[in-house]
Amino acid sequence: MQLLCISHLMNNLLILIDTSIRFFDLIASFILLVMKDPFATKKSKSEFYISGLILIWSG
């Protein structure tokens, strides 16, 4: 019973991480498309992911 509960929590966590990555992908794509600032266009999507994840982890 306890193992099933842990597995359920892990599954929910993976879904949350997947949703967060999709959300940051959407935000990064939007920023890269809309902003014409040279600084913003030089930033890669992975940098947006990393900065977004740091924001989440730092609270």
Query: pLDDT tens across 21-40, in order?
Result: 888 887 877 777 666 555 55
Element (H, E) at 4: helix 2-34
Per-residue pLDDT averaged across 46-57, rounded?
A: 71
20 vs 2: CA distance, rounded Å: 27
24 vs 52: CA distance, rounded Å: 7
Cα 53 versus chain centre, distance: 6
Instruction: Please tell me the pTM assigned to this model.
Output: 0.44
Element (H, E) at 39: helix 38-42
